[in-house]
Amino acid sequence: MTHQHPALTTEQKKELSDIALRIVAPGKGILAADESVGHMAKRLNQIGVENTEENRRLYRQILFSADSRVKKCIGGVIFFHETMYQKADDGTPFVQMIKDKGIVVGIKVDKGVVPLAGTDGETTTQGLDGLWERCAQYKKDGADFAKWRCVLKISENTPSPLAIMENANVLARYASICQQNGIVPIVEPEILPDGDHDLKRCQYVTEKVLAAVYKALSDHHVYLEGTLLKPNMVTPGHSCPTKYSPEEIAMATVTALRRTVPPAVPGVTFLSGGQSEEEASINLNAINTCPLVRPWALTFSYGRALQASALSAWRGQRDNASAATEEFVKRAEVNGLAALGKYEGSGDDSGAAGQSLYVANHAY
Q: Does 119 bind another protein (CB under 8 A)?
A: no
- Partners of 104 in the beta sheet? 76
| Per annotation, catalytic residue among 230, 277, 278, 327 | 230
Burial of 292 (0-12, 13-18, 19+ CB in 10 A): exposed
Label the pairing between strands 104-108 and 145-152: parallel
Compute the least distance from the CB of residue 102 to another protein, in Å. 25
* Rounded CA separation 278/272 (Å): 10
Burial class (CB in 10 A: 0-12, 13-18, 19+), 282: buried
> To the nearest whole angstrom, how small is the minimum distance from the Cβ of residue 352 to another protein?
36
Residue 260 as a binder of another protein (CB under 8 A): the answer is yes
Q: According to CB under 8 A, which one of 38, 102, 121, 295 is a site residue for another protein?
A: 295
8 A C-beta contact, residue 148 and residue 185: yes
Provide, rounded to whole angstroms, the least separation between the CB of residue 219 and another protein.
8
Which residue from 24, 98, 209, 324 is in contact with another protein, where contact means CB under 8 A?
Answer: 209
Q: Provide the 8-state DSSP code for 169.
A: H
Quick check: is 230 catalytic? yes
Q: Hey, which residues between 139 and 198 contact another protein (CB under 8 A)?
A: 154-161, 164
Q: What does the alpha-carbon distance between residue 195 and residue 152 come to, in Å, rounded to a whole number?
A: 12
Q: How many residues bind another protein (CB under 8 A)?
A: 39
Which stretches within the chain are classed as H helix?
Answer: 10-23, 37-46, 53-64, 81-84, 94-100, 131-140, 161-180, 199-219, 246-260, 277-288, 304-314, 321-338, 351-354
Determine if 204 is a binding residue for another protein (CB under 8 A).
Answer: yes
Which CB, 2 or 68, lies closer to another protein? 2
Q: Which is nearer to another protein, 7 or 136 (CB)?
A: 7
Binding range to another protein, per CB under 8 A, among 13-21, 202-210, 236-244, 347-355: 202-210
Is 133 in the active site? no
Under the rule (CB under 8 A), what is the footprint of another protein?
Answer: 1-4, 154-161, 164, 200-201, 204-205, 207-209, 211-212, 214-215, 218-219, 224-225, 255, 258-264, 293-295
Annotated active-site positions, please?
A: 188, 230
